[in-house]
């Protein structure tokens, strides 16, 4: 397959418009043109996908199956055109046909099938797996509604449904003939036949899983993988007799019950939702996925005995953990294997990545719910649990440790322990996080099976997060680091290091940032009617709203700055603009209060003439991938200030670094590895280390003492109680910090303990900014040393050390 010329694209688009919409290019609107673009590129990718899969089959290559309840894909048009090598041609073809390419691209909705970092990671890895020519498929649910759209109304978050598929479905290829049945509930019947005990599940309900495939093109290769999204349908045809009796609603009841499974993404980030619908979603997509993998394997090899040699099932956190009992079910019930052989194959096929140490995020299911909904899978899970417990008891001879490592205990099924028992490998997502897993969270299991535990630090797709979104910087990198080679070799970014004292280069870098800031300011004006001051430091914290991420610490510091400005209008030498973007889980009341506080403070500062041209706070509505793509190139300061030990890795931190923003951060998650390559001199580190934070929490932390002792902090916290010009008091947050509430300890995330160190880090940052040459040299070094955080490096590590599959080389 050769790439399209501009002319060929024009013809293909024109034909698509006529065939699909019955219109000429002159008659078509932008939305129709967007869909035509998607269809033309989808056709090209589908052809490549067929060829890739044919070759995979023919050479009997081992396949990676990446299961994730979330894929935060964002937009695809620019990405696919870029990877297919036709982006300039597509833009030109659109202009020739009378369209503004930018306007057409801007119409594409984000495919927001994820909450935050975990889902975006899965999307970045899909790109790298294709680019590295690894035969791989992603699996998830084809949610009708993705992550909600956030509106800010009177300072508060309002959630609106995200019906992305109207336009977004142009990328999807439904394959109804490949549908699978997934069974829930019912009872088990056991019988002997041919010397085997057979177990069948009878009664209950069946849901049809219909695959909708999205092709994933690699960069600079024809290798094309796919993301398989399962849609849920009722297998029963609508009952026409009820229809004719006028019982319309009843006739469609089954359909509605089945389809609710794929209706909506759960909007909780780093928080488990113990709802039966969530468990149904998990089993629905896992069962359909394992069935389709097993059937394909049987069709190819005629036996399941070599399944683990030809397949690896990577699970993104515990959400798809049911693959373990489901694969066992298929090996036992369908392939007729004995337990030991089935267990050997399963434990050599499944690998588990942990994404959090927060207790409230570790998934647990009530045994009764599990048993009722999934009777056969429960039987198998109970047997896995029994055998694992026996093994642990023999090893530890200590009931406390047996309890800690158990898969089922006290009527609760613990998914992380299931993954450790049934997985071949367990990895964390940054060096620090993996150490915490080994030494604390999974300490006992690790003592028993240390060889299972490893680390793969996260990475981001540097083609998307640098080259595509920041063309100015891409140009500079190409000029200094040997052209476009870095796109396939992210470590080539390191060549920029040599220019850290080259004034001409630093001036260019600074001009690029300035232009990006102006562009973002124009966008913010158009979208949100805010006027950003491009002379100010763009100091940014964008990520999900969560107390452990400490957006509130950022706010406390801004209040302190504001109060200093009240005392001395000349206290701020360099104007500062603080930008926030964050969605709060709709049920997370404290997170929503913090959003409101940010907006109250923004309003106060906005109306205070003392702050004019000096201090500004802006809450950016509806933070999502496409907004991040505009914001990263314009950012100068990256706030990565989680309580040490709580953020598993972070990936936002890496996107900022690649775009030359300097980090103000704690030694948490991947910030530790950023510090390893940057040193103290190229970032602004502050605060408690993870062992210190853990010790302080353990040994009795008294935030009230800090409040009593530190007059700056005292005054800041009092301002929360008083509130701002909109008259809203934040005494609830004040009390939560000083006294705790609803069973939460006072200042659980140690904001007050880190407050003065944080203010000091911000001060050091502002001083560094005052010396542009020093700042730009630091910025250049950040870009130069960000290559290690490319997803290509991370995926290559998975391929080499965990999946054992060959891949195209990256450095």
Kindly list the catalytic residues.
355, 543-544, 549, 651, 655
Q: Smaller CB distance to ligand PLP: residue 66 or 365?
A: 66
Q: Between 143 and 701, whose beta carbon lies closer to ligand PLP?
A: 143
Q: By CB under 6 A, which span of 79-87, 116-124, 204-212, 257-265 interacts with ligand PLP?
A: 116-124
Sequence-ordered list of residues with C-beta below 8 angstroms from that of 547, at least 6 positions apart, any chain: 590, 591, 594, 748, 749
Instruction: Tell me the closest approach of the beta carbon of residue 150 to ligand PLP, in angstroms.
Output: 12
Question: What element of type H or E holds 541?
Answer: strand 537-542
CB 125 within 8 A of CB 794: yes
Q: Which C-beta is closer to ligand PLP: that of 110 or that of 231?
A: 110
Q: What is the DSSP string of 159-173?
A: EE---THHHHGGGEE
Is residue 346 a contact point for ligand PLP (CB under 6 A)? no
To ligand PLP, the closest distance from the beta carbon of 357 in angstroms equals 15
582 or 751: CB nearest ligand PLP: 582
Q: Which residues contact 614 (CB under 8 A, 6 or more apart)?
A: 565, 572, 575, 576
CB atoms within 10 A of CB 44: 23
Q: Which three-class secondary structure string do you get for 184-196? A: ECCEEEEEEECCE
Q: How many amino acids of this chain bind ligand PLP (CB under 6 A)?
A: 13
Nearer to ligand PLP, 453 or 623 (CB): 623
Least Å distance, CB 642 to ligand PLP, is: 9
CA distance 327 to 429: 25
Task: Identify the bridge partners of residue 233 per DSSP, sorted by sequence position.
Answer: 208
Question: What phi, psi does 196 have (nearest 5°)?
Answer: -115, 145
The SS3 call for residue 73 is: strand
Q: What angle do CA 127, 130, 131 make, to 5 degrees?
A: 80
Shortest Cβ 671–ligand PLP spacing (Å): 10
CA dihedral 358, 359, 362, 368 (to 10 degrees): -160
Reduce the DSSP state of residue 338 to 3 states and report it.
Answer: coil
Question: Based on CB atoms, which residue is closest to ligand PLP, 121 or 258?
Answer: 121
- Residue 699 has a CB neighbour count (10 Å cut-off) of 7
Q: Which of 49, 109, 117, 211 binds ligand PLP (CB under 6 A)?
A: 117
Among residues 171, 380, 416, 173, which one has the least CA distance to residue 287?
380
Q: Using alpha carbons only, what angle is made at residue 721 by residues 717 and 722, rounded to the nearest 5 degrees? A: 110
Tell me the window of 115-123, 307-315, 371-379, 710-718 that interacts with ligand PLP (CB under 6 A): 115-123
Interface residues for ligand PLP in 258-317 (CB under 6 A)? Answer: none
109 binds ligand PLP (CB under 6 A): no
> Residue 430 and residue 357: Cα distance in Å, rounded?
12
Residue nearest to ligand PLP (CB): 652
H or E stretch covering 639: strand 637-640
Which CB sits closer to ligand PLP, 419 or 429? Answer: 429
Work out how close the CB of 650 gets to ligand PLP at its nearest, in angstroms, rounded to a whole number.
Answer: 4
Please identify, using beta-carbon distances, which residue of 226 and 464 lies nearer to ligand PLP: 464
Whether the CB-CB separation of 408 and 367 falls below 8 Å is answered with yes
Residues between 527 and 546 that touch ligand PLP (CB under 6 A): 543-544
Least Å from the CB of residue 623 to ligand PLP: 6
Q: How far is CA 375 from CA 165, 279, 372, in A?
A: 34, 13, 6
Q: How far is the CB of 70 from ligand PLP (least distance, A)?
A: 11
Q: How is residue 390 written in tokens?
A: 């026996």
Which window, 15-23, 113-121, 466-474, 510-518, contacts ligand PLP (CB under 6 A)?
113-121
∠ at Cα 464 (458, 467), nearest 5°?
Answer: 115
Q: Which is nearer to ligand PLP, 296 or 621 (CB)?
A: 621
- Site stretch for ligand PLP (CB under 6 A), options 114-122, 192-200, 679-687, 761-769: 114-122
| Closest approach of ligand PLP to the CB of residue 581, in Å | 8
Tell the smallest beta-carbon distance from residue 469 to ligand PLP (Å): 11
Closer residue to ligand PLP in complex, CB, 549/736: 549
In whole angstroms, the minimum distance from the beta carbon of 728 to ligand PLP comes to 27
Nearer to ligand PLP, 36 or 664 (CB): 664
Integer CA distances (angstroms), 487 to 123, 463, 565, 808, in order = 17, 6, 45, 13
Nearest distance from residue 339's CB to ligand PLP, in Å? 41
Nearest distance from C-beta of residue 797 to ligand PLP, angstroms: 19
Q: Give the Cα separation of 424 and 314 in Å (integer).
A: 10
Tell me whether residue 106 or residue 390 sits nearer to ligand PLP (CB atom). 106
Are 551 and 648 contacting, i.e. CB atoms less than 8 angstroms apart?
A: no
CB 635, CB 538: distance < 8 Å? yes
Q: Are strands 311-316 and 350-353 parallel, antiparallel or unpaired?
A: parallel
Give the torsion sign (CA, 23, 25, 30, 32). Answer: positive
Judged by CB under 6 A, the chain residues 615 through 674 that form the site for ligand PLP are 623-625, 628, 650-652, 655
Taking the complex as a whole, how short is the minimal distance between the CB of residue 640 and ligand PLP, in angstroms? 7
Please report, as residue ranges, which positions from 539 to 578 form the binding site for ligand PLP (by CB under 6 A).
543-544
Helices (H), 140-252: 165-168, 240-244, 248-251
Q: Whose Cβ is closer to ligand PLP: residue 186's or residue 665's?
A: 665
Count CB atoms within 10 A of the CB of residue 710: 16
Output the CA torsion 659→661→665→671 (10° steps).
30
Write out the E strands in 117-257: 136-141, 149-153, 156-160, 172-174, 180-184, 187-193, 196-202, 205-217, 224-233
Choosing from 35, 79, 120, 329, the residue that interacts with ligand PLP (CB under 6 A) is 120
Residue with tokens 């939460």: 744
Residues in CB range of 86: below 8 A, 6 or more apart: 3, 4, 9, 41
Among 109, 116, 138, 168, binds ligand PLP (CB under 6 A): 116
Chain residues that interact with ligand PLP, rule: CB under 6 A:
116-117, 120, 543-544, 623-625, 628, 650-652, 655
């Amino acid at each position: 397959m050769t790439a399209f010329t501009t002319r060929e694209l024009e013809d293909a688009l024109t034909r698509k418009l006529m065939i699909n919409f019955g219109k000429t290019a002159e008659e078509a609107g932008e939305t129709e043109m967007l869909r035509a673009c998607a269809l033309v590129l989808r056709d090209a990718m589908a052809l490549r996908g067929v060829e890739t899969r044919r070759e995979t089959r023919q050479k009997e290559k081992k396949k990676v199956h990446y299961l994730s309840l979330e894929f935060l894909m964002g937009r695809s048009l620019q990405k696919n055109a870029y990877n297919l090598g036709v982006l300039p041609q597509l833009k030109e073809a659109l202009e020739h046909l009378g369209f503004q390419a930018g306007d057409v691209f801007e119409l594409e909705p984000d495919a927001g099938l994820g909450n935050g970092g975990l889902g975006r990671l899965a999307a970045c890895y899909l790109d790298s797996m294709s680019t590295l020519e690894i035969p791989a498929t992603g699996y998830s649910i084809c949610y009708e509604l993705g992550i909600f759209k956030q509106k800010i109304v009177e300072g508060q978050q309002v959630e609106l449904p995200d019906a992305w598929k109207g336009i977004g479905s142009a990328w999807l290829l439904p394959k109804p003939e490949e549908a699978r049945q997934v069974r829930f509930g019912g009872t088990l019947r056991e019988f002997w036949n041919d010397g085997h005990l057979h177990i069948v599940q009878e009664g209950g309900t069946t849901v049809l899983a219909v695959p909708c495939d999205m092709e994933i093109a690699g960069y600079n290769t024809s290798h094309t993988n796919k993301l398989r999204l399962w849609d849920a349908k009722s297998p029963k045809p609508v009952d026409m007799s009820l229809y004719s009796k006028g019982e319309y609603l009843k006739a469609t009841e089954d359909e509605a019950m089945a389809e609710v499974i794929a209706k909506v993404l759960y909007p909780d980030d780093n928080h488990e939702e113990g709802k039966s619908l969530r468990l149904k979603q998990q089993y629905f997509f896992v069962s359909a996925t394992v069935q389709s993998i097993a059937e394909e394997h049987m069709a190819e090899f005629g036996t399941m005995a070599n399944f683990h040699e030809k397949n690896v099932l990577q699970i993104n956190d515990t959400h798809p953990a049911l693959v373990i009992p489901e694969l066992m079910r298929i090996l036992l019930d369908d392939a007729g294997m004995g337990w030991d052989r089935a267990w050997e194959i399963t434990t050599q096929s499944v690998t588990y990545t942990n994404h959090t140490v927060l207790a409230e995020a570790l998934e647990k299911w009530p045994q009764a719910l599990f048993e009722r909904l999934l009777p056969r899978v429960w039987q198998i899970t109970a047997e896995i649990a029994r055998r694992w417990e026996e093994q642990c008891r023999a090893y530890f001879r200590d009931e406390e440790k047996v309890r800690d490592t158990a898969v089922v205990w006290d009527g609760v099924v613990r998914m992380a322990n299931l993954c450790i028992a049934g997985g071949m490998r367990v990895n964390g997502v940054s060096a620090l996080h993996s150490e915490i897993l080994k030494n604390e969270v999974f300490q006992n299991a690790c003592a028993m099976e240390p060889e299972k535990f490893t680390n793969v630090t996260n990475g981001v797709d540097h083609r998307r997060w640098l080259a595509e979104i920041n063309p100015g910087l891409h140009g500079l990198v190409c000029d200094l680091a040997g052209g476009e080679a870095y796109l396939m070799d992210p470590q080539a970014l390191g060549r920029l290091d040599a220019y850290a004292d080259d004034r001409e280069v630093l001036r260019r870098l600074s001009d690029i940032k300035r232009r990006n800031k102006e562009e973002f300011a124009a966008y913010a004006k158009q979208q949100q009617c805010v006027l950003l001051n491009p002379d100010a430091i763009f100091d940014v914290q964008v990520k999900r709203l969560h107390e452990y991420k400490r957006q509130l610490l950022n706010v406390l510091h801004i209040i302190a700055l504001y109060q200093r400005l009240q005392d001395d209008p000349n206290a701020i030498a360099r104007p500062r603009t603080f930008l926030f973007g964050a969605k709060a889980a709709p049920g997370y009341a404290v997170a929503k209060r913090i959003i409101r506080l940010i907006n109250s403070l923004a309003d106060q500062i906005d109306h205070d003439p003392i702050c004019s041209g000096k201090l500004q706070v802006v809450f950016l509505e509806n933070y999502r991938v496409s907004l991040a793509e505009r914001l990263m190139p314009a950012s100068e300061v990256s706030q990565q200030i989680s309580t040490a030990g709580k953020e598993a890795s972070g990936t936002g931190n890496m996107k900022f670094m690649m775009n030359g923003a300097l980090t103000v951060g704690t030694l948490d998650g991947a910030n530790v590895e950023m510090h390893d390559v940057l040193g103290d001199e190229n970032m602004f580190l502050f605060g408690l280390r993870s062992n210190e934070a853990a010790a302080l929490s353990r040994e009795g932390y008294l935030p009230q003492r800090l409040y009593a002792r530190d007059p700056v902090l005292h005054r800041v916290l009092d301002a929360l109680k008083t509130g701002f010009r909109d008259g809203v008091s934040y005494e609830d947050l004040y009390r939560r910090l000083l006294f705790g509430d609803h069973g939460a300890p006072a200042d659980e995330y140690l904001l007050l303990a880190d407050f003065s160190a944080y203010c000091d880090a911000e001060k050091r940052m502002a001083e560094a900014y005052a010396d542009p040459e020093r700042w730009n040299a630091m910025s250049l070094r950040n870009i130069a040393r960000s290559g290690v955080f490319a997803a290509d490096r991370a995926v290559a590590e998975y391929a080499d050390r965990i999946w054992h599959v060959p891949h195209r080389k990256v450095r």
